[in-house]
Chains A and B, each alone.
Chain A
Amino acid sequence: MASDAALRALNRFGLGARVGERARIGDARGWLRAQLQGAPPELAAPASAVPANIAAALRTLGMRAAYGEEERQQARRRLIGIADDESRAALTQRVASERPFVERLVAFWSNHLCVSAGAKRVVAPLAGGYERQVVRPHVLGRFEDMVLASARHPAMLFYLDNHQSIGPSSPAGTRTGRGVQRGLNENYARELLELHTLGVDGGYVQADVVELARILTGWTVAGLYGAGTRRPGRDDDAPGPLRFAFRPAQHEPGPKTLLGRRYPEAGVDEGEQAIRALCRHPSTATFVATKLVTHFVADQPPPAAVERVARVFRDSEGDLRAVSTALVELPEAWSEGARKFRTPQDWLVAALRALGVPGAGDNLARALRQLRHPLWSPAAPKGFGDTMQDWADPDALLNRAELARTLGRRIGGGGPDPRTLLDVVEAPAADAMRAMLADSTIAPAERIALAIAAPAFQWR
């Protein structure tokens, strides 16, 4: 029984068991709680991801007149290289981590407050840095600090267009002259309410969306446009790393009212206060708890478990270390019947861990694209889905079978004895696998593929 709890901890809360690992874990809950202690695991930036270089390459692409096609092509390749390096570094960390519970939490929050590399060219080279700078430092800290960091990060400001939302009555909004009157863009404000904090039924109306958009006008990005560019630089806009800037001239003046609370004119502080208030709203606790319980317990989250986690979230004012500990304590997460279908990223990372592969090779990103789950590239700001319904369609199972076979071929005779892979799946599910994995008339590489593609390996 103890070893089953260890397997549950490794697969459900962690990123997949390695062969022999379950025997080394005596106290499954203690093993998880220990991972939550201390500072969150850092991840070094890849050598190529120098912030000033990213900004410079983006500027080159944005200045058609100033650079030749050759230079622009180079800049494009540099940005793609940075995005690839970032994704390889993050996946390697997931495959190799000794604190897999915390890495799972990083992936969860990164998806909750997602940006999408696929949506805009400018987001792709920033998405890795976004996870490192926004999610990692706060994954065991306070929820509102994570959301605020996200609100100020260039990746998010670009992704949901807040960088170009301008107060209609601000100096920038009322300036007459060439071109079109510029004004509000509601995109980020709406998703901040609907997807990051309160949830769609959390008690806001369209007027709140507009008010929050007004509050957040002036929250933008500096560093992209320097002197001599298509859009002349401002004093605070010298070329350099992309960085958060608050521009009072774009901020909508006057008081605003969000969810019945009045915010007197206070420049950048309005946004900070509003975001903190949204994060402390009871609807946010329920919304976030529902997502967490769905992720760690079941596609249909048990209401009692949701309420327990929501209470810890409320009582601790969004202390994510306390909230994560509460997840470990949920009896529902350990019950026999409960199980989660692995997402494609989970499945591939678990396969590499089970097979003892040390890190993420270049093929991993391609495999994740084929499985429709590339890193930091959801189709919409809601992030990737988290339930069986989202991932277990027939075509996807066939895709996994094919990738498992490719993986088996690549590992070939250098992999583990296929029979040892029974150690990473739950025993009742493994009965049908036992004979097949021991059948020496089947090539070892194919038996490895069968273990990874087997239905028992699709669950955590």
Chain B
Amino acid sequence: MDRREFLKTMCSGGIATFGFPVVSFAQVRQSGRLVFVLLRGGFDGLAAVVPYGDPAYEGLRGPLAFQDGDLVPLTPIFGLAPGLAPLREFWDRGEMVALHAIAIPYRTRSHFDGQAILETGLDRPVGSSDGWLNRLLQIMPGERSGIAIASGMPRSMAGAHEVQTWSPTQLGAVTDEYLDRLAVLYRADGTLHNRFEAALQQQDLVGEEEMAGAGARRGGVTPLLKSAARILRQSTGPNVAAVEFSGWDTHANQGLGGGALDRLLGQLAEGLVAFRAEMQDAWADTTVVVMTEFGRTARPNGSRGTDHGTAGAGFLIGPKVARSAVLADWPGLGDSALYEGRDLRPTLDTRAVLKAAVAGTFDLTGAQADRIFPGSSGVRGRYELMR
């Protein structure tokens, strides 16, 4: 019996006797795809969506201030950093909202608490351990599934609803026979059994050829996002995906156009453009959300970098976006406008955008969106951002 056969047998009844639900990508899936791209490390929003039209900008940013001519202008106030120039493609198609002065409800500037809040969707770093993407899967009706395309299971995806994980590896050494034997051993382990089954099914879904191909191109943002697209675009593919990239914590020598941060932004933008192309027709019902845990200090620190700050920037991208725009209730960069005299002041709650993203992508009601973000009923969803 080959492994596909074997899995079919297990799924059609054998498994039930063990009492563990087996995840599989549904034959009839809900429409809509949401991709959550988490940039770990807290990227400098003022160096990405640049408020060059703010009168205090140049003086405040000093050596980190871009010159107008280097930027890709979006509005009279805001322009994209040079590295983000490829995103212009989304902007011109009416598929991109740049978000600014955005923040989660957390002000203490710890990466780890910040990420916990962004990923659990709560208003404090402790509480439920379910990620908001997992809560979305729990609440969504119909056949739906999620995947983490990441090193390990990100908090945003973890929770009661079983999800798959995938990252590029080079599985060439194993035979179906070996994995089948191992699957038998795993059946005796109540905790791990289900995860191993999910792994085998995931491998079948992506296909051996894809695994080998992705493995050869391991490492880059663009290859990873293209692999993600090939998984997502399948007719039975997952509805919800989490992707993450780290390295955004720029305490020193952050640079300007062509500098360290701008190179990272360039990789991200190129990757997103490649993702859209690779999605083919499936792009039509896909929404991409790009977020980070916090922004950084408005002024450069003593090492031409920036320290942990508060409000930052993000992006909402996809054909279900109502129109291209910069969404910012701009607090300004004057000394008295800064939060605690040092950070960009938050004026937009991240959850207001995330609610709109889930509701607009999956036709959920506002009440359902509220349940995905417990404690957020006082935060008005910005539903007008989506079609």
Give me the interface of A with B, judged by CB distance under 8 Å: 160-161, 164-166, 168, 173, 180-187, 190, 194, 200, 206, 209, 370, 372, 379-380, 382, 385, 388-399, 401-402, 405-406, 409, 429, 431-433, 436, 442, 446, 449-450, 453-456, 458
Does B169 sit at the interface, judged by CB under 8 A? yes
Q: Which of A160, A206, A392, A450 contacts B182 (CB 8 A)?
A: A450
Q: Which of B111, B158, B199, B252 contacts A395 (CB 8 A)?
A: B199
Q: How far is the CA of A441 from the CA of B184 in the complex (A)?
A: 16
Shortest beta-carbon distance, B12 to chain A, in Å? 21
Question: 19 A-B residue contacts at CB 8 Å?
Answer: A161-B303, A161-B305, A166-B302, A168-B302, A182-B303, A190-B308, A379-B40, A394-B195, A397-B186, A397-B199, A398-B200, A402-B173, A405-B173, A409-B173, A432-B187, A450-B181, A453-B182, A453-B185, A454-B186
Give the contact stretch, choosing among B138-146, B147-155, B356-364: B147-155
CB neighbours of A190 from chain B (8 A): 109-110, 307-308
- Residue contact A455 to B188, C-beta cutoff 8 Å: yes
- Report B147-181 residues with CB < 8 Å from chain A CB: 148, 151-153, 158, 164-167, 169-171, 173-174, 178-179, 181
Q: How far is the CA of A456 from the CA of B179 in the complex (A)?
A: 16
Shortest beta-carbon distance, B304 to chain A, in Å? 6
Knowing A185-B252, A402-B174, A453-B182, say if A395 contacts B202 (CB, 8 Å): yes
Shortest beta-carbon distance, A373 to chain B, in Å? 10
CB neighbours of B181 from chain A (8 A): 436, 442, 446, 450
Knowing A393-B165, A394-B198, A398-B203, say if A185 contacts B307 (CB, 8 Å): yes
Nearest 7 A/B pairs, CB to CB:
A183-B302, A394-B199, A455-B189, A432-B188, A393-B165, A395-B165, A398-B199
Q: How far is the CA of A379 from the CA of B112 in the complex (A)?
A: 12
Q: How far is the CA of A209 from the CA of B187 in the complex (A)?
A: 50
Q: How far is the CA of A116 from the CA of B10 in the complex (A)?
A: 43
Q: How far is the CA of A190 from the CA of B303 in the complex (A)?
A: 16
- Residue contact A454 to B185, C-beta cutoff 8 Å: yes
- Residue contact A206 to B196, C-beta cutoff 8 Å: no
- Residue contact B165 to A394, C-beta cutoff 8 Å: yes
- Residue contact B152 to A390, C-beta cutoff 8 Å: yes
Look across to chain A and name the residue whose beta carbon is closest to the beta carbon of B149.
A395
CB neighbours of B193 from chain A (8 A): 455
Q: Which of A173, A187, A372 contacts B251 (CB 8 A)?
A: A187
Shortest beta-carbon distance, B285 to chain A, in Å? 26
Q: How far is the CA of A308 from the CA of B69 in the complex (A)?
A: 62
CB neighbours of B252 from chain A (8 A): 161, 164, 185
- Residue contact A393 to B153, C-beta cutoff 8 Å: yes
Shortest beta-carbon distance, B174 to chain A, in Å? 5
Q: Which of A160, A200, A389, A392 contacts B108 (CB 8 A)?
A: A200
Give me the interface of B with A, judged by CB distance under 8 Å: 40-41, 62-63, 108-113, 125, 148, 151-153, 158, 164-167, 169-171, 173-174, 178-179, 181-182, 184-189, 191-193, 195-196, 198-200, 202-203, 246, 249, 251-252, 300-305, 307-308, 340
Knowing A182-B303, A185-B303, say if A432 contacts B152 (CB, 8 Å): no
Look across to chain A and name the residue whose beta carbon is closest to the beta carbon of B244.
A379
- Counting chain B CB atoms within 10 Å of each CB, the highest count among A180, A182, A401, A456 belongs to A401
- Residue contact B302 to A399, C-beta cutoff 8 Å: no
- Residue contact B113 to A405, C-beta cutoff 8 Å: no
Look across to chain B and name the residue whose beta carbon is closest to the beta carbon of A454.
B185
- Counting chain A CB atoms within 10 Å of each CB, the highest count among B169, B187, B308 belongs to B169
- Residue contact B184 to A185, C-beta cutoff 8 Å: no
- Residue contact A405 to B178, C-beta cutoff 8 Å: yes
Q: How far is the CA of A390 from the CA of B155 in the complex (A)?
A: 9
Q: What is the interface of chain B mostly: helix, strand, loop, or mixed?
A: loop
CB neighbours of A390 from chain B (8 A): 152-153
Knowing A186-B301, A432-B188, A455-B189, say if A393 contacts B148 (CB, 8 Å): yes
Look across to chain B and name the residue whose beta carbon is closest to the beta carbon of A455.
B189
Knowing A186-B307, A450-B178, say if A393 contacts B302 (CB, 8 Å): no
- Residue contact B111 to A392, C-beta cutoff 8 Å: no
Q: What is the interface of chain A mostly: helix, strand, loop, or mixed?
A: helix
CB neighbours of A397 from chain B (8 A): 186, 192, 195-196, 199
Q: How far is the CA of A354 from the CA of B108 in the complex (A)?
A: 46
Knowing A185-B303, A382-B112, say if A394 contacts B202 (CB, 8 Å): yes
Shortest beta-carbon distance, B95 to chain A, in Å? 31
Q: Which of A160, A200, A431, A456 contacts B110 (CB 8 A)?
A: A200
Shortest beta-carbon distance, A259 to chain B, in Å? 15
- Residue contact A180 to B62, C-beta cutoff 8 Å: yes
Look across to chain B and name the residue whose beta carbon is closest to the beta carbon of A204.
B108
Q: How far is the CA of A209 from the CA of B192 in the complex (A)?
A: 42
CB neighbours of B191 from chain A (8 A): 388, 392
Q: How far is the CA of A180 from the CA of B302 in the complex (A)?
A: 9
Shortest beta-carbon distance, B272 to chain A, in Å? 21
- Counting chain A CB atoms within 10 Å of each CB, the highest count among B108, B152, B167 belongs to B152
Q: How far is the CA of A189 from the CA of B18 in the complex (A)?
A: 51
Q: How far is the CA of A274 from the CA of B181 in the complex (A)?
A: 57
Q: How far is the CA of A446 from the CA of B176 in the complex (A)?
A: 12
Q: How far is the CA of A409 from the CA of B308 in the complex (A)?
A: 48
Look across to chain B and name the residue whose beta carbon is closest to the beta carbon of A182.
B302
CB neighbours of B198 from chain A (8 A): 394
Knowing A200-B113, A405-B173, say if A394 contacts B164 (CB, 8 Å): yes
- Residue contact B305 to A185, C-beta cutoff 8 Å: yes
- Residue contact B188 to A165, C-beta cutoff 8 Å: no
Knowing A194-B110, A393-B165, A396-B165, say if A186 contacts B308 (CB, 8 Å): yes
- Counting chain B CB atoms within 10 Å of each CB, the highest count among A173, A398, A450 belongs to A398
- Residue contact B166 to A395, C-beta cutoff 8 Å: yes
Q: How far is the CA of A450 from the CA of B181 in the complex (A)?
A: 8
CB neighbours of A458 from chain B (8 A): 189, 192
- Identify 17 new A-B residue pairs, CB closer than 8 A, beyond the known A186-B301, A394-B198, A405-B173: A161-B251, A182-B302, A183-B301, A185-B301, A190-B109, A200-B112, A370-B170, A372-B151, A379-B246, A380-B246, A392-B191, A393-B152, A399-B169, A429-B189, A432-B185, A433-B185, A454-B182
Q: How far is the CA of A387 from the CA of B200 in the complex (A)?
A: 23
- Residue contact B188 to A431, C-beta cutoff 8 Å: yes
- Residue contact A392 to B184, C-beta cutoff 8 Å: no
CB neighbours of A406 from chain B (8 A): 173
CB neighbours of A160 from chain B (8 A): 251
Q: Which of A182, A380, A405, A429 contacts B41 (CB 8 A)?
A: A380
Q: How far is the CA of A200 from the CA of B152 in the complex (A)?
A: 24
- Residue contact B182 to A456, C-beta cutoff 8 Å: no
CB neighbours of A186 from chain B (8 A): 301, 307-308
CB neighbours of B249 from chain A (8 A): 380
Shortest beta-carbon distance, B199 to chain A, in Å? 4
Q: How far is the CA of A414 from the CA of B200 in the complex (A)?
A: 30
Q: Which of A385, A402, A432, A450 contacts B169 (CB 8 A)?
A: A402
- Residue contact A389 to B153, C-beta cutoff 8 Å: yes
- Residue contact A164 to B302, C-beta cutoff 8 Å: yes
